[in-house]
């Protein structure tokens, strides 16, 4: 067992990279989701087109291709990215496009009477969105955001192929050094599953916190 | 670095070879996922918790872990246990298992949507369990699921580049070997992206048609 301790340490170092990547990617995805989701609901056609083009492009091509494009092709246009930057960029933009549709759907599902109430209270569009619409819509978005974050965590394994030393990369290193396959791959499968479970528990907790005192009001 | 059309024409035949493998892997993976998904969905409904609980946990586990690692597991670990698979077979099994767990959720929702009265009617007609499923429940449950299933199969199609990591010579792998050999990344990688975008946009049109044809719940 003793010989595995060192290798386990290697995998745990990779786990830190995976967690960092997931957190930073999720932050970027959240920003992009609101930008593009609100953009699709904009009064101005330009914003609607831009948002639609962004969403269709990133949902239409594979995350794998986007990552390779960011890492190998962008430098040819003069943007050199480190593997970590390319990973965060590709993951964040890709998952952000999926989450943008969640933002749009949740906002559109808020009843018409809420918008009428905003007008009755003499709120402008931003105030109505900020104080009335979003607080209700955000609770609806949360469960799907949780799923999106898990998708992002799973997609982050792909960055090992552009030589970023995440968990999957380290497992390959252990496999190459020891020739043992079961130990590294089973270990990281379990670690990924634990991380995914933590995300879904955290989202469920946050949902409970945000809906406290609303029992019986929300159906 | 400039875009070079003559290079594009030169590499196109190799890329099309990759496209064929990509499409074969997607089709086989879809069939496998559809079958695995149905099996998981039916087993999870079993009254015997000793059967339904482990299968349910396994499905959750597969859904919560990355496809890439599962592919590595199938490709590298199974040979040590005495099961040697060709890269393409390993890839199809990985895709099928992974998306089968997603398809199982679609089946579950579809089966739950069949009205209770239909189960009772099947019992009243003295049908066996097998007859109830094949003659009454599934014919009603399956059509509304088709658009949702198709959605996952499009998603699977976009995940096929992962198979290049276990040495399947699909589109992405062909593009990478061209890129490494000629040291030109811009054309091959961009073409792969364009190819995926075109196929995805076409399949979205197909999906809309499926939704109109089967999606209605009356």
pLDDT at res. B147: 84
* pLDDT of A1 over the 60 cut: no
For residues B149 and B106, the answer to whether their CB atoms sit within 8 Å is: yes
Give the SS3 label for residue B156: helix
DSSP B94-107: HHHHHHHHHHHHHH
Annotate B74-100 with b (16+ C-beta within 10 A) or e (fewer). Answer: bbbbbeeeeeebebbebbbbbbbbbbb
Among positive and negative, which fits the CA dihedral B30, B35, B38, B39? negative
What span, in angstroms and rounded, lies between the C-alpha atoms of B100 and B86? 21
pLDDT at res. B93: 95
Residues 6+ apart with CB under 8 A from A59: A94, A97, A98, B200
pLDDT at res. A219: 47
pLDDT at res. A79: 84
As given in the structure block, the two tokens for residue B95 are: 């895709």
Crossing angle, helix A134-155 and helix A182-210, to 10 degrees?
180
Q: Which of A77, A153, A157 to mutate to test the interface with B (most CBs of B within 10 A)?
A: A157
What span, in angstroms and rounded, lies between the C-alpha atoms of A206 and A68? 35
Nearest partner of B72 among B52, B99, B97, B90, judged by Cα:
B90
Task: Give the closest of A60, A153, A182 to B77, CB-based.
Answer: A182
Q: Convert the pLDDT of each residue in B107-124 to its tens digit.
A: 998 998 888 899 999 999
* pLDDT of B179 over the 60 cut: yes
* pLDDT of B28 over the 90 cut: yes
* pLDDT of A80 over the 90 cut: no
Statement: B5-214 belongs to CATH 1.10.3720.10: yes
What value does the mean pLDDT take over residues A85-101?
95
Provide φ and ψ at A61, rounded to 5°.
-105, 160
pLDDT at res. B218: 46
Q: Does residue B46 or residue B99 have the better pLDDT?
A: B99
Q: Does residue A3 or residue A167 have the better pLDDT?
A: A167
* pLDDT of B47 over the 90 cut: no
Q: What is the ipTM of this complex?
A: 0.85
Q: Do B158 and A63 touch (CB under 8 A)?
A: yes
Q: pLDDT-derived band of residue B33, with 50, 70 and 90 as boundaries?
A: very high
Q: pLDDT-derived band of residue A2, with 50, 70 and 90 as boundaries?
A: low
- Residues of chain A contacting residue B172, judged by C-beta atoms under 8 Å apart: 64-65, 68
What span, in angstroms and rounded, lies between the C-alpha atoms of A150 and A62? 17
Q: Where are the domains of chain B?
A: 5-214
pLDDT at res. A29: 97
Which superfamily, per CATH, for A16-167?
Answer: MetI-like (1.10.3720.10)
Looking at the complex, does the CB of residue B201 fall below 8 Å from at least one CB of chain A? yes
List the helix and strand counts (H, then E) for chain B: 10, 0
Q: Convert the pLDDT of each residue in B98-107 to its tens digit.
A: 999 999 999 9
What value does the mean pLDDT take over residues A36-45?
93
A215 strand-pairing partners: A218
pLDDT above 70 coverage of chain A, percent: 97
Q: What angle do CA A30, A217, A210 make, to 5 degrees?
A: 30
What value does the mean pLDDT take over residues A131-146?
91
Q: Do A157 and B69 touch (CB under 8 A)?
A: yes
Kindly report the average pLDDT of chain A as a whole number. 90
Nearest partner of B40 among B28, B56, B29, judged by Cα:
B56
Nearest partner of A165 among A84, A90, A85, judged by Cα:
A84
* pLDDT of B216 over the 80 cut: no
Kindly report the average pLDDT of chain B as a whole number. 89
Task: Give the closest of A68, A175, A192 to B65, CB-based.
Answer: A192
Q: Which of B56, B66, B175, B187 to mutate to test the interface with A (most CBs of A within 10 A)?
A: B66
Looking at the complex, does the CB of residue B70 fall below 8 Å from at least one CB of chain A? yes
Give the SS3 label for residue B218: coil
Give the SS3 label for residue A218: strand
Measured between CA atoms, how close is B107 to chain A, in angstroms?
19
């Amino acid at each position: 067992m003793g010989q595995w301790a060192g290798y386990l340490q290697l995998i745990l170092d990779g786990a830190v990279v995976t967690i960092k990547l997931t957190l930073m990617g999720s932050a970027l995805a959240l920003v992009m989701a609101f930008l593009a989701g609100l953009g699709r609901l904009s009064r101005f056609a330009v914003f609607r087109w831009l948002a639609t083009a962004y969403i269709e492009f990133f949902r239409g091509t594979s995350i794998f291709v986007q990552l390779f494009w960011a890492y190998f092709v962008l430098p040819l246009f003069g943007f050199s990215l480190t593997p970590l930057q390319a990973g965060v960029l590709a993951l964040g933009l890709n998952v952000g496009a999926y989450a943008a549709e969640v933002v749009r759907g949740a906002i559109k599902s808020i009843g018409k009477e809420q918008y009428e109430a905003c007008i009755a209270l003499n709120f402008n569009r931003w105030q109505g969105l900020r104080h009335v619409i979003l607080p209700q819509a955000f609770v609806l978005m949360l469960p799907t955001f949780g799923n999106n974050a898990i998708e992002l965590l799973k997609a982050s394994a792909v960055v090992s192929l552009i030589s970023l030393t995440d968990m999957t990369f380290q497992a390959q290193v252990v496999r190459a050094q020891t020739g043992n396959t079961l130990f590294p791959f089973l270990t990281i499968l379990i670690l990924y599953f634990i991380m995914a479970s933590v995300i879904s528990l955290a989202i469920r907790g946050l949902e409970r916190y945000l809906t406290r005192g609303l029992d019986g009001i929300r159906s | 670095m400039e875009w070079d059309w003559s290079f594009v024409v030169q590499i196109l035949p190799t890329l099309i070879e990759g496209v064929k493998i990509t499409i074969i892997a997607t089709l086989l993976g879809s069939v496998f996922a559809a079958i695995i998904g149905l099996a998981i969905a039916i087993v999870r409904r079993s009254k015997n918790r000793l059967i339904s609980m482990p299968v349910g946990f396994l499905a959750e586990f597969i859904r919560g872990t990355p496809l890439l690692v599962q592919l590595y597991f199938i490709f590298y670990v199974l040979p040590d246990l005495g099961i040697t698979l060709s890269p393409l077979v390993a890839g199809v099994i990985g895709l099928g298992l992974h998306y089968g767990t997603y398809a199982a959720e679609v089946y579950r929702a579809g089966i739950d949507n069949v009205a209770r009265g239909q189960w009772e009617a099947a019992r009243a007609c003295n049908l066996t369990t097998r007859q109830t499923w094949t003659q009454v429940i599934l014919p009603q449950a399956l059509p509304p699921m088709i658009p949702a299933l198709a959605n996952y199969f499009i998603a699977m199609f976009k995940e096929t580049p992962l198979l290049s990591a276990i040495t399947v010579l699909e589109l992405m792998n062909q593009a990478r070997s061209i890129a490494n050999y000629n040291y030109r990344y811009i054309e091959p990688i961009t073409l792969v992206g364009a190819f995926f975008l075109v196929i995805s946009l076409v399949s979205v049109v197909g999906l809309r048609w499926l939704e109109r044809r089967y999606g209605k719940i009356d």
